[in-house]
Every structure is written in C-alpha cells, then in structure tokens.
Amino acid sequence: MQAAAASAPLLHVRTVWKKFGDRVTAAGVDLQVGNGEFFTMLGPSGSGKSTVLRMISGLEQPDGGRILINGEDVTDLPPWRRGLGMVFQQYANFPHMTVAQNIGYGLRRSNLDRAALRERVSELLDLVSLPGFEDKPVTKLSGGEQQRVAIARALAPRPRLLLLDEPLSALDEKIRREMQVQLKDIQRATGTAFVYVTHDQEEALTMSDRVAVLNWGYLVQVDAPQALFRQPRTKFVAQFFRGSNVVEGRFIGSGTQTVFDCAAFRLDCGAVANPANPPAVAIRNEDIRINAHSVGNVAEGETAFDAVLERVVYRGIYTDFQFKLADGQIIVASATTNQDLASGARVRLAVKTDRIIPLHAEPS
C-alpha cells in the first residue's frame, strides 16, 4: 500500500461517469495530475468541466469510476476530508470581515497561536501581492483584489491540490490578463498543484503545464499548450482554438499507406487510426505561405495548391486572407506583411507538409 501510494499520481480521476437525467456530463473521464502541476480543463459551456471539478472536490458523487489522491481512494470522503482548496467564480469572501479575518478563516483548524497566525496571513498577503491589506474591510477591495483574498484563504491551510472554477471570469479583460500571469506566479511560488477550469482558450494556454479539452463530457485531448495548439487531435479541438482551417477530403489507401486527397492537394499521411468523418486535416492560418503568382516557388518539404482570393480582413497585427479552393472550400491565411493582392487574384499557397495535421474522429 505504501509503495503504491509513493508512485501514485497526486490526483487520478479514474474512468469517471456522471449523468444528469439522460444527459451524460462526464463520459469515462480519465486523467492524472502530478505534484506541482498547473492542469487546466478547457471546454465550451456545458461540456462538463465544473461537474468533473465538483467530483474531484467531493461536492458531487460520480455514477461510476473513482477519485484517487496520492493513491488513496477518496470517492466516498466528504469534501472537507480530502485536503483540497477551492476557489470559485464568485469571490466567496465573508463580507462583514476584514481581509485578515477572511484569510484567517482558512486557518481556523490549524491551532496556530495569534503571532503565528498573523505571520502566516502576512506571508499569504505577500504571495498574492496585497501586502499591508490585513485590516481593510474585504468589500472595499476591487474584484481582482477580492479574488486574490479568496485565493490566499484557499491556500492558507496548504492544501495538496487547489481547485479553481473560472476564478477570473467575473473580472474585466485587462485585470483578467494581469491576474493570469499573477496566478501562474502564485502557483509556481507555492508549488501547489492547481486544477483550473476555464472556457477561455487563451487563459488555458497562458497558464497551464497541461490542458485537457472536454466536449460533451468526453475528454478529447490532453496535452501541453504548444502541442495542443499545433497538433489538434480532432476537428473540435482545431476549431476551438481560433485561427485554424479544417479542410475536408477523403483518405485513399489503408494501413500505413494513406493519402489525404481534397480538390486542392494530396498529402501522404501514413497511418491515421480512427480518422475524422468526413476525413479532414487542420492547417493553421499562419502556416500558409502566400505566393503572389500562380507559379510561385515551392520549397523543399512544402505542399502547394492554387486558390482564389475572396476577401481581405485587416486585424491590426496581422491580416486574414480568405481564399476559395477549387472545390469551393474556404481557407484563411494570416500574414503580418502587406500582400499586394486584390479580390479575385489567383495565387499559389504553400504549407510545410508536416504542418498539415490529419484529424481523428471525435470520441463517442
């Protein structure tokens, strides 16, 4: 038992199922989180993120599967016996208390004497960049400050895992972006593992060591931000991250000899287990190179194809060029440099072949 616990992950959500009526909100979700990891569950509204988080916390019971912490099965333990901290979208501070009293509440079971308590509160306020805020009434603080108090309170008893459900979504854009960086700093400084829920792709990519993408209760892909962004597994993941094209076609051949074929180009793609239906590939907008001539150069390792420019959309730092392929599919190329092109221009587009990503079927 001891040896098993030593090698067990900090958190193991083991094949967890949950249904509300006939709506499946967690479909055999299986994931592991390591010590000190910033792990994010990302997905659209209703995909089951909060449900999975609530099952980890003990606020919700799974219909099937187990929750293990350090190898110990906690599925039947109440929330307060799981050694976890929680932060929600609403600030959830006690409005009639000062900042110090709010944070101290998180330490009520710790038996610290007054001096030690004061020291721990001050240490936590430094951690969340609110030094000297002890005696302020918590309701006099801004939204971002109140949320930092809530985070300090949740971290006060040194939980083995902190669960956060969209903690920044009530804040305005500018504060939210600042807080993303701060939260990551706080997480690094404490070394506490975070399981973070958001529907905001940028937030997930900014802060996380790994991201799990959820859709309709299914875990679609778990990867580091870069890998998720550059190697989407399914059409859903590719389209969830802005700036990706999905081009449909068909796979010819079988086994390790598959070729993806659409009206614009053909691509050797080897073995594609469980391909998307209809077959499709993802190409990021910024991976498409625009040749202003229909007979433009094609470099080693590139796939090239013809397209007709339909529309130019200026986006500030970059410009989106919307092209129509031979079969009518639309593909968008983003470029930071000015392209002297008018609508109707026939051009040759080129993509590094390894940046054309064959997509897999959605889990079901």
Ligand X SMILES: Nc1ncnc2c1ncn2[C@@H]1O[C@H](COP(=O)(O)OP(=O)(O)OP(=O)(O)O)[C@@H](O)[C@H]1O
Site track 164-203 with ligand X (rule: CB under 6 A), x = hit: -----------------------------------x----
Least spacing, CB of residue 23 vs ligand X, in Å: 6
Burial track 39-74 (b if 16+ CB lie within 10 A, e otherwise): bbbbbeeebbbbbbbbbbbbebebeebebbbbbeeb
Q: Is 57 in the site for ligand X (CB under 6 A)?
A: no
Nearer to ligand X, 48 or 358 (CB): 48
Is the separation of the CB atoms in 124 and 152 below 8 Å? yes
Place of tokens 């086994």: 255
Least spacing, CB of residue 198 vs ligand X, in Å: 8
Using omega within 30 degrees of 0 as the cis cutoff, is the peptide bond preceding 78 cis? Answer: no
Site track 12-51 with ligand X (rule: CB under 6 A), x = hit: --------x--x-x-----------------x-xxxxxxx
Measured CA distances, 48 to 66, 89, 165, 212, 288 (Å): 17, 16, 12, 12, 34
Integer-rounded Cα Rg, in Å, for the chain is 25
Is the separation of the CB atoms in 155 and 127 below 8 Å? yes
User: According to CB under 5 A, which one of 25, 40, 47, 50 is a site residue for Mg ion?
Assistant: 50
Number of residues in contact with Mg ion, rule: CB under 5 A? 1
51 binds, among Mg ion, ligand X, none (CB under 5 to 8 A by kind): ligand X
47 binds, among ligand X, Mg ion, none (CB under 5 to 8 A by kind): ligand X
Least spacing, CB of residue 155 vs Mg ion, in Å: 22
Nearer to ligand X, 23 or 108 (CB): 23
Q: 3-state DSSP call for residue 185?
A: helix
Nearer to ligand X, 33 or 349 (CB): 33
- What is the DSSP secondary structure assignment for residue 98, as one 8-state letter? B
Distance of alpha carbon 173 from alpha carbon 110, whole angstroms: 37
Least spacing, CB of residue 41 vs ligand X, in Å: 8
- What residue ranges bind Mg ion (CB under 5 A)? 50
Residues that bind ligand X (CB under 6 A): 20, 23, 25, 43, 45-51, 199
